[in-house]
Chain A
Amino acid sequence: GAGVSQSPRYKVAKRGQDVALRCDPISGHVSLFWYQQALGQGPEFLTYFQNEAQLDKSGLPSDRFFAERPEGSVSTLKIQRTQQEDSAVYLCASSLTFSNIQYFGAGTRLSVL
Chain B
Amino acid sequence: DAKTTQPNSMESNEEEPVHLPCNHSTISGTDYIHWYRQLPSQGPEYVIHGLTSNVNNRMASLAIAEDRKSSTLILHRATLRDAAVYYCILKSNYQLIWGAGTKLIIKP
Residues of A within 8 A of B (CB): 4, 31, 33, 40-45, 48, 56, 91, 93, 98-99, 101-107
* Residue B68 is within 8 A (CB to CB) of chain A in the complex: no
Residues of chain B within 8 A (CB-CB) of A101 are 46, 49
Given the known inter-chain contacts A31-B94, A48-B94, A99-B94, please indicate yes or no for A104 contacting B45, CB distance below 8 A: yes
A-B contact count (CB 8 A): 44
Known A93-B43, A107-B43; further 7 A-B contacts with Cβ < 8 A: A42-B100, A42-B101, A48-B95, A98-B94, A101-B49, A102-B96, A106-B42
Given the known inter-chain contacts A101-B49, A103-B46, please indicate yes or no for A44 contacting B41, CB distance below 8 A: no
A102 to B97, CA, bound (A): 13
Residue of B nearest to A102 (CB): B96
A45 to B96, CA, bound (A): 8
Residues of B within 8 A of A (CB): 36, 41-46, 49, 87, 93-101
Q: List 28 A-B contacts (CB under 8 A).
A: A31-B94, A33-B94, A33-B96, A41-B100, A42-B87, A42-B98, A42-B99, A42-B101, A43-B44, A43-B96, A43-B98, A45-B95, A45-B96, A45-B97, A48-B95, A91-B43, A91-B44, A93-B44, A98-B93, A101-B49, A103-B46, A104-B43, A104-B44, A104-B45, A105-B43, A106-B42, A107-B42, A107-B43
A106 to B39, CA, bound (A): 10
Residue of B nearest to A105 (CB): B43
Given the known inter-chain contacts A31-B94, A42-B87, A45-B95, please indicate yes or no for A102 contacting B46, CB distance below 8 A: yes
